[in-house]
């Protein structure tokens, strides 16, 4: 109940084209139900599991996510659970961040917090090492989503707390397994997201000006991809 109420509050207050909006809510007894806008294209995780994305498609998805994060961060909200399963799609090409059950509301005076939640594979280094955290934890998580889109899996080194701490201590960083297969623009974008030093990590607003993002086509160009994956999954379900 507490998580649902928190999610309801953040969605009621923060309405944006790149956030899944809450249309209504009902409390029956002790059961709270949220009526969400329908995202008929499923999750980005589904798409990643079924097909390879082009760099143009990755760029468009990244831009849409960054627009949502920039809005949240401008309103002093940390999403805290950015991952491919929480990025929802619509067959018109829309891309929206979902699941605000773990969000953190900051104040203009309080730009950081000491405890941050999230999924292990997407946690930023400062979260793993127990440092005070700010909105850029979401940027690290988006960078992990970027590697997911490229390699169709979450990097293994931050699956447990021990390995990330070791990587950070030795100055290591998340990298693509076969970087030469991808453009320097994509590689630089991921590098800007995945700086282990939070101060050097770019903000959502800065990343929206990165050439990889500014060159992205309209979200509507994602529609054929989303529809194709949806039809493929429906056929598998029917079998």
DSSP readout, 155-167? -GGGSSSHHHHHH
- The Cβ of residue 233 has, within 10 Å, a number of other Cβ atoms equal to 15
Angle (CA) 17 66 234, round 5°: 65
From the list 24, 40, 81, 92, the catalytic residue is: 81
* Axis-axis angle for helices 55-74, 184-193 (nearest 10): 30
81 annotated active-site: yes
**Is the separation of the CB atoms in 135 and 75 below 8 Å?**
no
**Is the separation of the CB atoms in 219 and 93 below 8 Å?**
yes
**75's tokens:** 């309103």
Residue numbers annotated as active site: 81
């Amino acid at each position: 109940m507490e998580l649902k109420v928190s999610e309801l509050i953040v969605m009621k207050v923060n309405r944006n084209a790149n956030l899944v909006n809450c249309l209504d809510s009902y409390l029956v007894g002790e059961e709270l139900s949220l009526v969400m806008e329908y995202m008929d294209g499923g999750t980005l995780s589904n798409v990643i599991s079924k097909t390879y994305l082009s760099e143009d498609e990755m760029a468009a998805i990244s831009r849409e996510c960054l627009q949502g994060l920039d809005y949240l961060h401008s309103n002093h909200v940390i999403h805290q659970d950015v991952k491919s399963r929480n990025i929802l799609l619509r067959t018109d090409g829309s891309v929206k961040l979902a699941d605000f059950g773990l969000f953190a509301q900051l104040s203009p005076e309080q730009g950081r917090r000491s405890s941050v939640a999230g999924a292990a594979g997407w946690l930023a280094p400062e979260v793993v090492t127990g440092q005070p955290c700010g909105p850029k934890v979401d940027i690290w998580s988006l960078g992990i989503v970027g590697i997911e889109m490229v390699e169709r899996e979450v990097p293994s080194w931050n699956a447990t707390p021990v390995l990330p701490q070791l990587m950070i201590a030795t100055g290591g960083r998340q990298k693509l397994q076969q970087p030469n297969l991808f453009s320097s623009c994509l590689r630089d974008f991921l590098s800007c997201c995945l700086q282990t030093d939070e101060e050097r990590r770019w903000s959502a607003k800065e990343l929206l000006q990165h050439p990889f993002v500014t060159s992205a086509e309209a979200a509507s160009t994602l529609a054929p991809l989303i529809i194709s994956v949806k039809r493929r999954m429906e056929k598998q379900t029917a079998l």
